[in-house]
Structure 1
Amino acid sequence: MAFAGRMRSSLPLVSKLLRSEFLSLASRSAPQRALLSPTFSDSEFSRNYATATGKKEDKNVKVPLALYGGAGNYASALYLAAVKANALDKVESELVDLVDASKKSPIFSAFIKDLSVKKSVRVQAINEICAHAKLSDVTKNFLALLAESDRLRNIEAITKKFLELTRAHRGEVIATVTTVIPLPPQEEKDLKDTLQEILGQGTKVKLEQKIDPSILGGLVVEFSQKVFDMSIKTRASQMERFLREPVDISSL
């Protein structure tokens, strides 16, 4: 998506807004920096976000998964707002691109993680970046509230939880297969078909391959919080434990 390019071109905006702030930090003590930005509770965040989106509560819109913890709560709130605005796919794409941009840009990464940056500076920078990158209103409001409540540093964790919700919404199941070398195309297809048969026609299996030479051979398949370990490493460990067990001669 073109967002990554727009994000890079927006970095001078961040630099300009942060330069004076970062230069003044050296003269502040650690306690002073820690007190610059108070945090909001989860309930405060929910109320503020509901107000910012201008959406009334819709009892018919529900999250497809029950998520827990701070990141789960924020992801759930964003999911509801995105569904109501009919912008789920767009918000998902924007969040993924934003996280990717933060990983590629040391300046932006430092900006979202540094709690010593003034709240007004964070919010102004986020608003300008969102406007420059032409992000949707749902994403813009969400990021502004994260910036205001000192939660912007958690954007990657929130995005991961949000992706769990969007995948569940689409009936997708991510299956990770770990092997020593990449699976040949036909074997990958056969495994995907087998998983599809196990999970039923109401789901869409997306297979992700992971290479790990330490398993020695075989494969490990993980999906829906289940693990099927058919690796040579595990089988060898099981065989070793079996051989070390004392033999009960009386049973022979």
Structure 2
Amino acid sequence: MAELSTTARPYAKAAFEHALATSALGEWSVMLVTAAAVTQQPEVQKFLSSPAMTTAQQAQTFIDVCGDTLNAGGQNFIKILAENKRLGLLPTISELFDAQKAIQERTVDVELTTAFALDSESEKRLAEVLGKKLAREVKVCSNTDPSLLGGVIVKAGDLVIDGSVRGRLAKLAEAINS
């Protein structure tokens, strides 16, 4: 996985810098997510690995499959990736691009997992507190997991805060056993 990130990073950086310069971060994010989803399809993977197709044919067919989602810059990006035999890196490029976009926009995606569904007011308060703590705008995605018994697990990038009853019980059991 590290090798894919290393290879994909210059492409993601170039796409990000171009999108930033043209004030089109959102548009580029959508294009890259769509292109990454296309590369995940088994038929497309088979097509991309076919030695019978030239890189120009692969690029054009890929662009045709993506349809109107790709603007002229996105089509050119696909052609460059195809020439360098890097279309398979699109999922990683998309992830790296979105990470750079989040840093630029000072946003963070937070996943809240609770035992019971939160009402919108509680979710909003948690987002505000987390936004102050992380010094970023927080975008919340909520999930429920009845096995937590109570409390909440917060995941924001690499940061994980386990405030669940299950987590606290596990810590208590570990402390008693050591």
Alignment partner of 2:59 out of 123, 131, 143: 123
- Report if aligned partners of 1:75, 1:158 keep a CA contact under 8 Å in 2: yes
Structure 1 segment 88-99 matched on structure 2, within 5 A? 88-99=25-36
Mapped contact 2:151–2:165 kept (Cα < 8 A): yes
Q: Distance in 1 between matches of 2:88 and 2:52?
A: 12
Asked if structure 2 preserves the Cα contact closer than 8 Å seen for 1:122 and 1:148, the reply is: no
How many residues get paired?
173
Q: 1:83 aligns with which of 17, 20, 23?
A: 20
Asked if 1:156 is matched to 2:156, the reply is no
| Contact kept in structure 1, 2:39 and 2:45, CA below 8 Å | yes
Residue-by-residue CA offset, 1:188-214 (whole Å, 9 max, x unaligned): 1110111122234xx311112234444
Conserved in 2, the CA contact under 8 Å of 1:92 and 1:163? yes
For structure 1, which segment, 152-161 or 115-124, has the greater mean C-alpha deviation from structure 2 after superposition? Answer: 115-124
- Asked if the contact 2:32–2:93 (Cα under 8 Å) also holds between the matched residues in 1, the reply is no
State the distance in 2 between where 1:99 and 1:90 align. Answer: 14
Residues 133-190 of structure 1, C-alpha deviations (whole Å, 9 max, x = no match): 2621221111111122221112112111111111222121222212233322121111
Partner Cα distance (2:7, 2:146) in 1? 36
- Decide which of 156, 172, 177 is 2:112's aligned counterpart: 177
Query: 2:15 is aligned with what amino acid?
Result: L
CA distance in 1, matches of 2:98, 2:52: 28
Pairing 1:230–2:139 present: no
Q: 1:108 aligned to 2:108?
A: no
Residues 194-244 of structure 1 show CA distances to partners (whole Å, capped at 9, x for unaligned) of: 1122234xx311112234444443211122532211122221111112222
Q: Is the 8 A contact 1:119 1:147 kept in 2?
A: no
Identity of aligned residues (%): 26
Mean CA deviation greater in 233-242 or 91-100: 91-100
Cα distance in structure 2, aligned partners of 1:214 and 1:71: 38
Q: SS of the residue aligned with 1:92?
A: helix
Distance 1:102 1:150, change over 3 A: closer
Runs of at least 5 residues in structure 1 that lack an aligned partner in the other structure:
1-67, 246-252
Q: How far apart, CA to CA, are the structure 1 residues paired with 2:147 and 2:50? A: 39
The TM-score with structure 2 as length reference comes to 0.80
Q: Contact conserved, 2:37 with 2:91, CA < 8 A, in 1?
A: no
Note closer, same or farther for the CA distance 1:116–1:214 as it changes in structure 2 (3 Å cut): farther
CA contact (8 A) 1:175 1:222 kept: yes
TM-score, structure 1 normalization: 0.59
Q: 2: distance between equivalents of 1:122 and 1:144?
A: 9
- 1:205 counterpart SS class: strand
| Equivalent-residue separation in structure 1 for 2:38 and 2:18 (angstroms) | 23
Which ranges in structure 2 are unaligned for 5 or more consecutive residues?
none
CA 1:209 to 1:241, structure 2 compared with 1: closer, same or farther past 3 Å?
same
Change (3 A) 1:115 1:209: farther
